[in-house]
Structure 1
Amino acid sequence: MLATVPAGILAQLNHSLAVPTDPTTAVQHIGAAEQYRRARELFDAGQLVQLLDAMPDLLATANAASPSPAAYVQLTACYTLASETLNKAGAHKGSRLAADRAVIFADLAESPLSKTVAARALGIVLRHQGNYERADGVVIAAANALEATGLPTAEHAATYAFALCTCAYNAAVAGRRDTATSLITEARRAAAGLEVSTRSGHPFALTAAQVTLYQLGIHWALGDAGAGLHAARDLRPEHFPTPERRARLHTDRARAWAQRGKPADTARALLSANAEAPTEVRNRPSIRGLATDLIRDHRGTPEVRLLAATLAR
């Protein structure tokens, strides 16, 4: 069934963001790096509720580590993941707090890579808050500083390209077509030939397919869903390594089909997303709203009736 994230789980995480707690005995023997790896697996699997439930212990363990550059890098990764997860749940106030913490720890780490990761998370939150100019400034400044390192590793290049993808989407949401086009073109150039899985706790595995998926979202944000669907016409689920990313492919297509007034195609895309990662449809407010409106307005469409029956289980 369609459902929001349980309020108690969000309240517990919001409390841990405001006042870091001690790790529970259940996780005291597990280090922050291992807890982060497990949390990242939950994110990649689209297990949103389970991840939100595990997040307070992850943050507690990371905060309990002795201060060091490596600990600050780990804290940046943990708070960035918290921000991304809360953003998916529509909890933008908590997402902003987590992103702010990520920026603080990235500064302490003195790592251009961590600073870009944290800035990207903050830029996403600022976009949701309608602060487009600041979102651009924060992410572009960090990306430029990262580029100035010469991008010595594939991880640096992937993180730089991901930041540009985010900036391009932010620009599209703000209606700045030329800027969005320029940035996504630069992102594709930076990502050319990259097939990486990062090792430092910032899992930006980037491929050409991922950049193309951003193009779909950019065209949708600019009100040109047809161009987006055309750009992404060759994308296949097997191009994406995780259920969360495969579901995102389908939900982005669903938004584009809905913008074009195609309820059957929209329903089929949502059904595919639900098959990959149900929480991407049932718990993300924007997609849950899309499904709810579709079922309300087009129940006579067979594919929509199937969607309604599937989500009612």
Structure 2
Amino acid sequence: MSLALSPVLRDLLEGWLTHERAIKGASGATVAAYGADVGGFLVFQAEHLGGNATPAALRRLGPREMRAWMAGQRARGVGARSLARRLSAVKGFYKWWAERDGFDASAILSMRAPKHQRRLPRPLTEEGASDMIASVGEQDARDWVSARDVAVVTLLYGCGLRVSEALGLDGGLIPLPEALRIRGKGGKDRDLPVLPAARAAVDRYAALCPHDLSPGTPLFRGIRGGALGPRAVARVMEKARLQLGLPASATPHAMRHSFATHLLNAGGDLRAIQDLLGHASLSTTQAYTAVDSTRLLEVYAAAHPSARKRP
């Protein structure tokens, strides 16, 4: 969309995307999404302003122009959640621009996103997670592929990894150590203990894999030897959940939710789980475990002085 913008606005947008990539450590996918969201916003405003989309005109945008854009998005069928994400990207762009060029962007930064119903995560039960790992290993007749799929899903559940983090592991990690340093969102590193079952699953895959797993190459490989993609992991889990009669929410990301919830149920500290997941905010970790509100209340009662019963 940014191709329809003037060279000045394209350069401005690229400057912000470069900032997000270099300073904030945003991933390539995130930067691409930001570019599409903000580029679309700027194109809309260019048309809305009758072609007078100069930087000066865009700095003067107010609530009327913002509401027009939001209404246009909804008319195109953009849902409340997606619109909230796009508004967040626009605000990020304007915050950076205002700080760089010294103008007041409060009219845009104060816009409120449409309300949307929060989707609570749906972790599997402990038995469901165990069955999922076992069933994933039965989906392919090739031993090395079966071992690979088990290893990936075991890491998701046993370490709470994001799919992208698991698939980003390097072949030089074999044999898998007792602790992994993972670079997550925003370029933040975190150290994770690796359970013996996860190490054993990865080691078995590595022993069977027909491709060279040397340092600097992807640990998890596709059939032809290229890097394994997230869609392949989603597909094998989809087959497994259908066989097990599990709901559609039994996705790769649900294994990460399950990791967090099962740790909490076993007495894990919420802030320690936050560190393991790599969340910047404790509220995000609470959302991962919100399905077990009883346990959260127990943690609160045990840890918060004002909640403790006095003798």
The answer, yes or no, to whether TM exceeds 0.5 is: no
Between Structure 1 and Structure 2, the one with more helix by share is 1
TM range (shorter): under 0.3
Higher radius of gyration, 1 or 2: 2
- TM-score normalised by structure 2 residue count: 0.26
- TM-score normalised by structure 1 residue count: 0.26
